[in-house]
Amino acid sequence: MALLKVFDPCAICLLCLVLSASELCNGGITGNFLRKEYSPDMPLDSDVFQVPPGYNAPQQVHITQGDTDGRGVIISWITPDEPGSDTVLYWSENSKNKNRAEGIFVRYKFFNYTSGYIHHCTIKNLEYNTKYMYEIGIGYTIRRFWFKTPPRTGPDVPYTFGLIGDLGQTHDSNVTLTHYESNPKKGKTVLFLGDLSYSNDYPFHDNTRWDTWGRFIERNAAYQPWIWTAGNHELDFAPQLEETTPFKPYMHRYYVPFASSHSTSPLWYSIKRGSAYLIVLSSYSAYGKSTPQYKWLRDELPKVDRSKTPWLIALMHCPIYTSNSHHFMEGETMRVVFESWFVKYKVDVVFSGHVHAYERSKRISNIAYNIVNGMCTPVDDQSAPVYITIGDGGNHDGPAIGMMEPQPNFSAYREASFGHGIFDIKNRTHAYFSWHRNQDGYAVEADSFWFHNSYWNPLGKSFVAQH
């Protein structure tokens, strides 16, 4: 038998994974609910894509947090035919005095498409825990919406987040959004895990699909903030169309408050909301040592004050732990770079999309592994995050049904169904997570889990609630 003279890192890593799978067959639960393999797009004449009446009426209205602490809001919309007004009028629910804020507009071209006038207006210094009304438009096209600011940041502030990823614009996408809106837990802010419109899947990266998607989500995103994470379908890198600027449509349409967290890019940033510190990362930007994203996260994590924001949450598109054959190990390089920091700073949970299924891990880490020691089996680690994949919004690719067998030990629950998640923070020590399958009643929890905060309750053993 010939002896290997050179170590092949990929071969070693794959061998370890095979050995791990064969040795650790006492994984968790695999849901047996099976979805159809394909999800058709909604017709373009669907009411969810309807253009508001009136010439040049504002459309695709959406909001996101506009600063670090939650007292700011970025309001965005598009006027299709001409710039129109950049002004937002806003007032608190119990006030008759309307305030005025002025925004900006931008445009972009992509291949044979020219966007409408994309408006962004940042409102600052709002009162906490207050409902505000706002108006945009001119004359007969004025449209009115509302939002509610979060409570003041504090360690025992309860707050409820919704989680959606890989949404698209299919019939199943519509069910997912309807299911989330009807959930009795009432999420107050959506943490969106990347892959928005899927426009790049249409011929010539059809950017009109950005417009239809923006009108589709307006019914929710105009009233509560969506915290954006960029996915691979936002890259829109198409040299064959002479389009070589990554993320061009996404970054023109979806502004985020990256500068307030001293980030140099809107693709990675942080915000505080309630008792949570949210860190958004970019799976499709450079993150190796000495890159801007690496240096930003290195400097950002020590700033987190767990006495004020006890819940530390990371968002990224590509999961670094998955037992699904779809996109298997695509997040491995990011795991190598960032996992030790997640453990060191006791990140509570990492939410991801990309894999079109749902999966929840145990608290595990693989930080002992290096290329020569062979210790490449994830182990229980109460300082490590729980990794949750929610890439099951309803896109046209259908669910990722290729689960790896046997189910590895690190996987607590997995299922190839469409749905959404709810992360309900109770206080500094406990939060309750639930995953809701589209086919169930609004209050049904297909999977649920109590979180014991990694900083305030480090010895508490997390446990599974009733399925």
pLDDT digits (tens, 9 = 90+) for 330-382: 989 999 999 999 999 999 999 999 999 999 999 999 998 887 888 888 999 99
Query: Is 443 part of a structural domain of the chain?
Result: yes
Q: If you average pLDDT over residues 75-97, what whole number do you get?
A: 96
Catalytic residues: 327
CB 326 within 8 A of CB 291: no
Q: If you average pLDDT over residues 136-158, what whole number do you get?
A: 97
Query: Is 201 part of a structural domain of the chain?
Result: no
Is pLDDT larger for residue 262 or for residue 328? Answer: 262
391's CB contacts (< 8 A; 6+ apart) are 165, 166, 193, 195, 319, 352, 353, 354, 355, 356, 357, 400
On the question of pLDDT at 22 being above 50, the answer is: no
Q: What is the pLDDT of residue 397?
A: 83
Is pLDDT larger for residue 400 or for residue 407? Answer: 407
The rounded mean pLDDT for the chain is: 91
Query: Is 188 part of a structural domain of the chain?
Result: yes
Q: What is the pLDDT of residue 35?
A: 62
Q: What is the pLDDT of residue 9?
A: 38
On the question of pLDDT at 466 being above 80, the answer is: no
Which domain CATH number covers 186?
3.60.21.10
Q: If you average pLDDT over residues 114-119, what whole number do you get?
A: 98
64-78, 296-310, 329-343, 391-405: which range is least confident on average?
391-405
How many domains are there within the chain? 1
Query: Is 166 part of a structural domain of the chain?
Result: yes
Q: What is the pLDDT of residue 180?
A: 98
Q: What is the pLDDT of residue 400?
A: 75
Query: Is 227 part of a structural domain of the chain?
Result: no
On the question of pLDDT at 184 being above 70, the answer is: yes
Query: Is 253 part of a structural domain of the chain?
Result: no
Query: Is 361 part of a structural domain of the chain?
Result: yes
On the question of pLDDT at 93 being above 60, the answer is: yes
23-32, 118-127, 431-440: which range is least confident on average?
23-32
pTM, 2 dp: 0.92
Round to whole Å and give the CA distance between 417 and 253: 29
Query: Is 92 part of a structural domain of the chain?
Result: no
Confidence band, pLDDT 50/70/90 cuts, at residue 15: very low
Percent of the chain whose pLDDT exceeds 70: 91
Q: Which two tokens stand for residue 330?
A: 């695509």
Q: Which two tokens stand for residue 445?
A: 């929890």
SS3 per residue for the chain? CCCCCCCCHHHHHHHHHHHHHHHCCCCCEECCCCCCCCCCECCCCCHHHCCCCCCCCCEEEEEEECCCCCCCEEEEEEECCCCCCCEEEEEECCCCCCEEEECEEECCEECCEECCEEEEEEECCCCCCCEEEEEECCHHHCEEEEEECCCCCCCCCCEEEEEECCCCCEHHHHHHHHHHHHCCCCCCEEEECCCCCCHHHCHHHCCHHHHHHHHHHHHHHCCCCEECCCCHHHCCCEHHHCECCCCHHHHHHCCCCHHHHCCCCCCCEEEEECCEEEEECCCCCCCCCCCHHHHHHHHHHHHCCCCCCCEEEEECCCCCCCCECCCCCCCHHHHHHHHHHHHHCCCCEEEECCCCCEEEECCEECCCCCCCCCCCCCEECCCCCEEEEECCCCCCCCCCCCECCCCCCCEEEEECCCEEEEEEECCCCEEEEEEEECCCCCCCCCEEEEEECCCCCCCCCCEECCC
Q: What is the pLDDT of residue 374?
A: 80
Domain containing 185: what range? 155-194+267-464
User: Mind listing the pLDDT tens digit for each residue in 200-250?
Assistant: 999 999 999 999 999 999 999 999 999 999 999 999 999 999 999 999 999
